Amino acid sequence: MSDSIPEISKLLFSSFPPQFPKISKSDIIRLWSLELQWFNPEDANLVVSHLLDMNWIIESEDFLHPNSNIDLSPPILGWQPILRDILNSPFNDLKTASIQNELDIITTKQNTQYSHESDNESKSFEDKTNILINYVSKKSGLTNREVIRRSQRKRKALGPVTLWLCVSLLAREQGLDMDKINQILEK
C-alpha cells in the first residue's frame, strides 16, 4: 500500500501544472485517457472518484485540485501510473487546507508589498486571462492545458507580449467570435 503514495504524488504532479492548478473533472479524465493515454476513459473516471474519496484530490466549485498538504514529486522520463497501485491507495488523512484560505493569504501578502491599484489591475488581467482561456477551451474543443500550451508557444515566438493577447490570437485561429473575446477583455 505504501508504494501507491509515490505513484499518486507523481500522478498529481503531472496532472496539475503550477500555472493552472485547478482542472475540471472532465478535463482531467480527457487528459489521462486521450492525451496521455494512461487509462481508458472508464478507468480514468474510476481513478478520479477514488482519489476524491481518499482525500488526495479536493473538489471545489466544479474544479479539482490536489490536496495542498501533499508533497508532489516529478516523475522520471517515461513514467506511467500503475492503475492497481493508484486504486489501492490508502485514505489521505493529512489535513486539507482550503484553497480559498491559501489564496487569501497570498493576496494579503501581495497587498502589503504592492500598491492596491497595481495589485487590483494585475489580478483583473489574471482573472480575464483565466476566463478567456476557459472560453477558448470550451468553444474550440481544446483542453485548458492545450490552450495554454499553444498560447505560450505564440508568446515565445512573438517576444514580449501578454498571455491574454496570445490566447486571443489562438481564438482567432480557431475561428471563434472575436466580439465575445473583446467583451471578456473589456469587462
> Rounded CA gap, 109 and 106, in Å?
5
CB contact set of 17 (below 8 Å; sequence gap of 6+): 145, 148
Task: Check residue 124 and give its pLDDT.
Answer: 65
Per residue in 150-178, pLDDT tens? Answer: 888 888 888 777 888 889 999 999 999 88
Domain 4-87 sits in CATH at 1.10.10.10
C-alpha cell at 54: 481518499
Task: Check residue 117 and give its pLDDT.
Answer: 47
Phi, psi of 76 (to 5 degrees): -75, 165
Task: Check residue 123 and give its pLDDT.
Answer: 56
Domain ranges of the chain: 4-87, 114-186
Q: What is the mean pLDDT of residues 116-134?
A: 68
Q: Is the pLDDT of residue 108 over 50?
A: no
Burial of 170 (0-12, 13-18, 19+ CB in 10 A): buried
Angstrom distances, CA of residue 3 to CA of 38, 46, 58: 18, 19, 21
CB contact set of 145 (below 8 Å; sequence gap of 6+): 17, 20, 23, 27, 31, 35
Smallest CA-to-CA distance from 139 within 86, 180, 169, 85 is with: 180
Beta bridge partners of residue 63, listed in sequence order = 60
Question: What global pTM score does this model have?
Answer: 0.51
Per residue in 41-83, pLDDT tens? Answer: 999 999 999 999 999 999 888 889 898 888 888 888 888 999 9
